[in-house]
A and B are shown apart, each in its own frame.
Chain A
Amino acid sequence: MMDFLKRFSRNRGAVIGAVILITVVLLAVLAPLLYPESPWKMVQRPFLPPFSVEGFPLGTDTLGRDVASGLVHGARVSLIVGLVSTLVALLIGVPLGAFAGFYGGLVDDGAMRFTEFFQTIPNFALAIVLVAIMEPTLPTITLAIAIVSWPPVARLVRAEVLSLRKREFVDAARLAGLSNTRILFGHILPNAMSPIIVMASLMVATAILLESSLSFLGLGDPNIMSWGYMIGAARTVIRSAWWLSFIPGVAILLTVLALNLIGEGLNDALNPRLARKGR
């Protein structure tokens, strides 16, 4: 563990990413304390530029809502959707890929055809269709994002399992009389964890981008303030009040960037040999 932290912190970008992410998480967690009022509430004149009126550091939007409040509450949505959809995608992708790689043959063929099918479908278009048809709510958006995100997980896990199951320690486990499930879960999957963790951190980032894109198109949960919605709502006034689109975009950019940096740091820390090779 100490080793891991040491290797992780050797990557300067990863440390910056961690700091940014911790800040975002803190803001999201503390949102009800910082801005107890609903972010939808109109609190001032509309179109206040940032830093023009005390108490509204980021100004107000087209309807006089507090941009800072929206930003903080939006962080909650981004993080929750990002995390939960990634978890769901892992729940689909890891077992599917693991069984495909471990059992091979027909199981593999079937699972991979299924995965390929989902990978062929343009994923953002599928997410749009799914959300549009299921009605946009937080759970449907999360589910739709999970449904379009799992194929790469399945492929990665399958590839890892395929290479691990040929290792001699797996043969040894088999000769010890272990059952298939015990070999798969006790010996193979633990050795595949590092790349899965790295991929998961990048998937959270992608999920946040997907969520913001959906709500930008008006496919967000109408009851929940999100960054994508804020940008979408300010789109019509882009010529007169560009900062209304600019500010939430920076929030998305920073969060996604942070997650990517952390992903690279994790990669360096968890696969030291590979990292050195790539440098």
Chain B
Amino acid sequence: MAGAIIENMSTKKLVIVGVILLLFQVFSFLVGGLIAPSPTTAIHYLAMKCVDARKVQQSKWFMPWGPNQCNKIRDFDEAMVRMIEANDIVFAVHIPLPNKEMSPWFQFMLVIMQFDIAFKVVNQIEDGAEVTIDVGLAYRDDSVSEWTEMAHSIEKRKLSCNFTTSKTYENEGRYYECDLLPFMELGSVAHKYYLLNIRLPVSERKRVNVGIGEIKDIRLVGIHQNGGFTKVWFAMKTFLTPSILIIMVWYWRRITLMTRPPVLLEKVIFALGISMTFINIPVEWFSVGFNWTWMLLFGDIRQGIFYAMLLSFWIIFCGEHLMDQTERNRFAVYWKQVGPIVFGSFCLFIFDMCERGVQLKNPFYSIWASDVGTELAMAFIIVAGICACLYFLFLCFMVFQVFRNISGKRTSLPAMSKARRLHYEGLIFRFKFLMLVTLACAAMTVIFFIISQVNEGHWHWGDYTLQVNSAFFTGIYGMWNLYVFAIMFLYAPSHKRYGDEQSNGDLGVNSGEDIQLTTTITHLDGPTEIYKMTGKEAQE
């Protein structure tokens, strides 16, 4: 794919394109920063302690508040006095809080669990204590009808708590500091009201829930995507899909218009466009109407495919610009480099299926809850990490090789024939341009990632509030879209000839070269002779 548009474009036009892209980039940041609210909201829930008085209550679901609320106790001292057993205590949490309702726009909901465990000398947390929770989830869509069960499960969670002060009588009543426990993940929020009923069944004989310390309270934190952010995000996707699609069609038409079959790099760029479109297509719109719990998993898969494609593209782009006169243009040549990407992505895919895939069936499942699961998950992640390292080593090595070849070619450039020189100059320019843009994009991603991690979440400028996290998401998403767009546009084969732009009578190139230069076949002999020939013909 020689003679790409980028080589034949005048600097002025290139600058114009760059400025337009930059404007879109700024726009995408501002859309997230100014219009959208923060991406997610975390809401605290404190579980109410209900008493399961079997004879009194008819429904098997316990409501913490509102009409038909359960028979509550304030704390466990009260339970002690009233001789209530642990198995009769139900922790009830209604999601959301009063006067609010959930909406499909929230996209997902994940819930984190935290225990408030008070220190007591006679009832301490044992090492490796495990809490067994019997949990049920129900939903309803209006505030009067009966609850419908959605999921029920008995789960185990490892307690990892530490007590920061000395374990003396003096410090009784102070709380342990416990790690967050993953509790539940829903891939869609199709219903208005959810109800969680949690029990901590105790069985001395089976050693269930023994040695878990004095649990005072169960706190949950529910995280969902903000409706406003979802709307802005969908709008962005809906806008981006046709723009990438149009440039893709245009790009492919350009390639098919040529007389030669497309080369590998062109195919890879096209594949990149397809994977970008795959991410862009706003199928999430359906999640508003349908209860598609797999949307979260599907989103992960789409992102994974895009990342894998992007990484492969960089490798192949470097390889095709190596200029070491070896035959490439075949995908098989790159197996060594692309292999780690595919393998790493596959590992992450398996991991994701183990976590989010199983959660489709049981929303309370967490791979981190069991020892085997944790080891398995760690194994997948470590393998994926090793693959990533391998990949970056390969990539860096290739980039280094390209630069070495470039500097080698530089010295011999003046001695070459004009056509050949232009060919190499084009290669060098194309490579350097992409290198620069890619580095800039990667740097932007990293910088904004760090900012969004470090920052409080929003900045105030006078009356305006800039949501940094939302700006990060829309900005980075817009950026990679523009990146793919720019690559497809700038690296599409040009129909212009080399000489056209340089109008000062430099007719060094003619139509014959167009065909030859569109391939990256850089045999030492074959093309050079043709170059020489065509060059001579032109001179004559």
A binds B: no
Query: Which residues of chain B have a CB within 8 Å of any CB of chain A?
Result: none
Q: Which residues of A contact B (CB under 8 A)?
A: none
